[in-house]
Amino acid sequence: MSHSGPVLVFDSGVGGLSVVAHLRAAMPERALAYLCDNAALPYGTKEDTWLIERIVAVCCAGVRASRAGALVVACNTASTLALDALRAALPIPVVGTVPAIKPAAAMSRNGVIGLLATSATVRRRYTDRLIARFAAEQRVVRVAGDALVKQAEQVLAGSPPDAGVIEQALAPLFADAELDTVVLGCTHFPLLRPFFETLAPRPMQWIDSGAAIARRTATVAPQGSRISGVDISFATAPAEAGMIRALERYEFAAPQGLEALEQ
Ligand code: DGL
C-alpha cells in the first residue's frame, strides 16, 4: 500500500470537519480525504461490539478507496474504542482523537472540569484511565450530550441550532458553580462552541483536541501534496445538500459511495 496518499479523516458525520479545520491550517499543502459513516450516525448511542466491527470495516474500505497514507480517526467515540483494532487492521499510521483531559486539568483554576462527550465516550474504560492518569487531583463532571450531535450536523448544514436543546444538554455543567473548564470530547461539539459561549452563565474555558491532532498528524503523515484545491470525500449513505455544502466549505468534493463496503 502506498504511504504517499492523502491523509484520510474519518468520523461518523461532519464532526471530523472540526479537526479538518486544524489540519488545513497546519498543513495547507497536504492532500486530505474525508470519510463519514453517515449511514450509522450517531455512533455515541450504539453498542460497542457492533461499533468496533463497523468502524474497522468502514475505515478499511475508505483507506482502500482513497489510497490513504495515514488515517486520522476524528471521532472520540471511535478512538476510545477501536484504535487498537484499527492499528491491527491497517498498515498505515493511525492517529486517534481522545478527550483533552490532560490540558484541561492543567488549565482549570478551581480543579473542577466538565467532560462533554457522547454517552459511549463518557462511560468508556479508556476515559476512566485518562481521568485517573491526568486528572486524579481534579473533580471531573461527566455529561453525555448525544442530542448535540444532531445540532452540530444541523448547523453545518446551514440551519440554526435549537438553543433549548443546547441549554438542556449543558445544564449540568452550568449548574456546577466551581466548574470553570469544559473538555469538548466529541468532534461535533467545537462546531457549536460559539453557541456554548453565548449560553454559558459565566466565562468558561472550552478545550478540544483539534490542534494537538494536527500537530501529531504532521509528524506521522506522508508528504502527499494536493494536486487541486478540492480533495475527495466518501460517505456510506447518500449525502444531503447541507452536507455537500459543508464539505465544500472545507475544500472537499461531494462524497462518493463506498462500494467495497456494500459487497
Ligand atoms: N463525532 C463523534 C465523536 O467525536 C461522535 C458523534 C456520534 O455520536 O456519532 O465522538
Is ligand 1 within 6 A of the CB of residue 151?
Answer: no
List phi, psi (to 5°) of 19.
Answer: -80, -40
C-alpha 118 – ligand 1 centre gap (Å): 6
pLDDT of residue 184: 98
Regarding beta strands 233-235 and 32-36, do their DSSP bridges make them parallel or antiparallel, or are they unpaired?
Answer: parallel
75 included as an active-site residue: yes
Q: Which residue has the higher pLDDT, 130 or 1?
A: 130
The Cα 56–Cα 85 span in angstroms is: 7
Ligand 1 binding pocket includes 41 (Cβ within 6 Å): yes
Indicate if ligand 1 lies below 6 Å from the C-beta of 11. yes
Selected from 3.40.50.1860, 3.90.380.10, 3.40.50.720, 3.40.50.2300, the CATH number assigned to the domain covering 7-97+211-257 reads 3.40.50.1860
Task: Check pocket membership of 18 for ligand 1, CB cut-off 6 A.
Answer: no
For residue 41, the CA-to-ligand 1 centroid distance in Å is: 8
Per-residue pLDDT tens digits for 40-69: 999 999 999 999 999 999 999 999 999 999
What is the pLDDT, as a whole number, of residue 122? 98
Q: Which atom of ligand 1 is nearest to the CA of 11?
A: 1
Q: Is 36 a catalytic residue?
A: no
Length of the chain measured in residues: 263
Average pLDDT over residues 23-36: 95
Quick one: pLDDT at residue 263?
A: 43
| 86-96 pLDDT tens trace | 999 999 999 99
pLDDT of 188 > 80? The answer is yes
**Which has more pLDDT, 258 or 43?**
43
Average pLDDT over residues 25-49: 96
CA distances from 239 to 30, 37, 110, 196 (A): 25, 11, 44, 27
Instruction: Give per-residue pLDDT as tens, 131-162.
Output: 999 999 999 999 999 999 999 999 999 999 99
For the cut 90, the answer to whether the pLDDT of residue 2 exceeds it is no
Beta carbon of 127 within 6 Å of any ligand 1 atom: no
Identify the CA nearest to 39 among candidates 55, 21, 17, 19: 55
Q: With 80 as the cut, is the pLDDT of residue 262 above it?
A: no
Buried b (16+ CB within 10 A) or exposed e, 197-236: eeeeeeebebbbbbbbbbebbeeebbebeeeeeebbbbbb
Judged against a pLDDT cut of 90, whether residue 221 lies above it is answered with no
Q: How far is the CA of 121 from the centre of ligand 1 (A)?
A: 9
User: What is the predicted pLDDT for the residue at 260?
Assistant: 65
Nearest-atom number in ligand 1 for the CA of 149 is 6
pLDDT of residue 1: 44
Topology of domain 101-208, CATH? Rossmann fold (3.40.50)
Given this model, what pLDDT does residue 229 score? Answer: 85
Nearest to 19 by CA among 5, 2, 36: 36
Q: Where in the chain is the domain with CATH 3.40.50.1860?
A: 7-97+211-257, 101-208
Q: Report the separation in Å between the CA atom of 227 and the middle of ligand 1, taken as the mean of its atom positions.
A: 30
Which of 50, 77, 151, 192 most suits a substitution to test ligand 1, by most atoms within 8 Å of the C-beta?
77
What number is the average pLDDT over the span 98-102? 98
Is the predicted pLDDT of residue 197 greater than 70, yes or no? yes
pTM strictly above 0.75: yes
Q: Which atom of ligand 1 is found nearest the CA of 146? A: 8
Mean pLDDT value of segment 104-121: 98
Cell (9 digits) for 46: 450504539
